[in-house]
Structure formats: structure tokens, C-alpha cells
Amino acid sequence: MPIIQSALSDASPELLVLEDGEFTKNIATLSMIYDRLATARIARDGLIIAVGGGVVGDLAGFAAATWQRGIDVLQIPTTLLAQVDSSVGGKTAVNHPAGKNLIGAFHQPIGVVADVHVLKTLPAREFSAGLAEVIKYGLIESDDFWEWLNVHMEKLVAQNEDYLIEAVERSCAIKARIVGKDEREQGVRATLNFGHTFGHAIETGTQYRTWLHGEAVALGMIMATRFSQHVGLMQANLAADLEKLCQRARLPIEIPRLGGASMLNWMGLDKKVLSSKIRLVLLKDKGQPIVTSEYSDERLVSFLKKHCDAG
């Protein structure tokens, strides 16, 4: 941050430091940002620079989208998860007690600056959480990224710079390609939410304080893959392969026992619900995601009861 402040010294930037954690991404924090923007008299030619992880990027992006009906935002992501996912594509939001990212807007940044050197400052758990989104791209795309990740996961965990740069580049290229086809998530972009409906329910059920977002996504991907097998959509035992890769990435694989009925309720608040039907991103195989609500409610209820009820 001092380097960025020094580079912008001629512009006399305002600095606002936010508390870390998903529970910070709420209306109260957003209101505080608005207060600072008002005090600083930031006009429509203003710029918000988001330096931090996904929480900071989402808050800054949504504040920029709504202040004066929209001002510029520059994303400088400092976590792996933010570099490969949340800083790219223009989705911004804050959480509501009823669910994650329920209040938001599409607002593209004027640029994204990703430097893998800053990732060395992350705790190991935070870094591994970002690998969940990298793994997601390997699952939903039909190129050889899944195989590449299986060969090189230990190098990524060790933060080998060359392999890390390649992982970030390939992840961003996959996301940019998908977003370029469907910026406002009316179709194919929804496949980027693979694992997120289950994962967001886990985050909501634990009030955003137990699991990092990437950890919840990893658990959600495992659940989505198991459910794909449960409904007969996918024949290959990809869930077992995914669990092994997540373990190598030092991600959790044990589904929390939050209660099947509660999980169903939290999933029902997801943004992808249409006509009271939960749309899920499922897999036919790696590289073959589909967005569907064509499954029986009974199958989902029985699946959640099996995997999420205590005992």
C-alpha cells in the first residue's frame, strides 16, 4: 500500500482500510465507504482503487458502480482468489443476512493489475483457498488445464513463480473468454458458478466466519460433483479425483453437517433461483458443465439429507 500511495502522491489519494473477512462485506461497510466518498467530495470523474482480496474488490466495485451512478474502479487484487476470479468480469456485490452477494451490480473495472509476488505475503490457508477457483476452471473447461493442474499441483502449493503465473494467466483467460460471451450472466457465464450454490449455502449457514470463500467453493464443488453422479448425469467417478486434488491443494473435503433442510433453505435464497426452482451448475464430465433445474426435488432433498444431516 505505501508504494501505491507514493505513486499517487500528486493526486492526494484518500485511504480507507477495511477489516478483513467476508463478514465485512455488508451494507454497513458500504455505507461507511459512501460517507468517505461524500466527505472527500468524489465526483463522477473520481476513481476508486481496490487493493486487497475479493471482499475489498467487491465492496469497492459496488461502491464505484453506485456512487454518482457510476465512477471508475481499478482492481489490484492481492490474493490468489481475487487474481483469478473476483477481480475479473465486473461482478460486484455485498452480502445480506439472508444470503451471499444478494445486493450487487455489474460494473467492469478500467483495469486489473495482478502481481503474483504479493501472494507470498498470504497465510498458507488463504493461498490454498484461491486454488479452489483455479481448480474450478480446470473442471469446467474442455482444454487440458485439469490435467495440467493434476501434474503441477505441488509446484503451485509451493508457489513456484513460473507455474503460478501460468495458472493465473490460464484462469483469467478462461474467465475472460466466458464473460466475453455473456457479460451479464444470461447464459454460459453461469457455469462459472460451479460449486457456488452449495458453497454459498455453507457460508451463509456459518455466518461467513468458519470457512474462507475458496474453502466453501471447494466443498461446494465436491457436493455439485457428487450430486451430478447422484442424479445419473455423470458416470465417471470424478468426485473422487476432485477430492484428491483438493487434498493436494490443502483444501477441505469433509462436508459440514449443517442439516439438509437448512442447506435447502439457504440454497433457495441463491441468485440463480428462477420460478422457485434452484438452478445448479452440474457436470456431465470434466469440461462439460450444464446449468439445469431438471432434477427432482426429492433427489436433492435426499442428497442433502445424506450429506448434511448430523450422524
Give dist(CA 262, CA 268) in Å, integer. 10
Which grid coordinates belong to 214? 475458496
> Is 91 designated active site?
yes
Active-site entry in 100, 136, 170, 189: 189
Kindly name the residue from 91, 107, 226, 307 that is annotated as catalytic: 91
- Examine the residue annotation and report whether 44 is marked as an active-site residue of this protein: no
Instruction: Say which residue the cell 482500510 belongs to.
Output: 17
Q: Which of 170, 200, 279, 307 is catalytic?
A: 200
- Which of the residues 19, 41, 69, 298 is marked catalytic? 69
Catalytic site residue 170?
A: no
List 136, 193, 226, 230, catalytic entry: 193
Asked if 112 and 49 touch (Cβ cutoff 8 Å), the reply is no
Q: Which of 100, 107, 136, 213 does the annotation list as catalytic? A: 213
Q: Is 126 a catalytic residue?
A: no
CA 269, CA 256: separation in Å to the nearest integer? 19
Do residues 134 and 214 make contact, with C-beta atoms less than 8 angstroms apart? no
230 assigned to active site: no
175 is catalytic: yes
Among 25, 95, 101, 133, the one annotated catalytic:
133
Instruction: Report yes or no: 79 and 130 within 8 Å, Cβ to Cβ.
Output: yes
What's the rounded Cα separation, in Å, for the pair 256 and 175? 29
Q: Which of 196, 226, 230, 286 is catalytic?
A: 196
Active site residue 193: yes
> Of 185, 203, 215, 243, which is the active-site residue?
185
200 is catalytic: yes
Look up cell 493526486; give the residue.
11
Active-site residues, by number, are: 69, 91, 133, 175, 185, 189, 193, 196, 200, 213
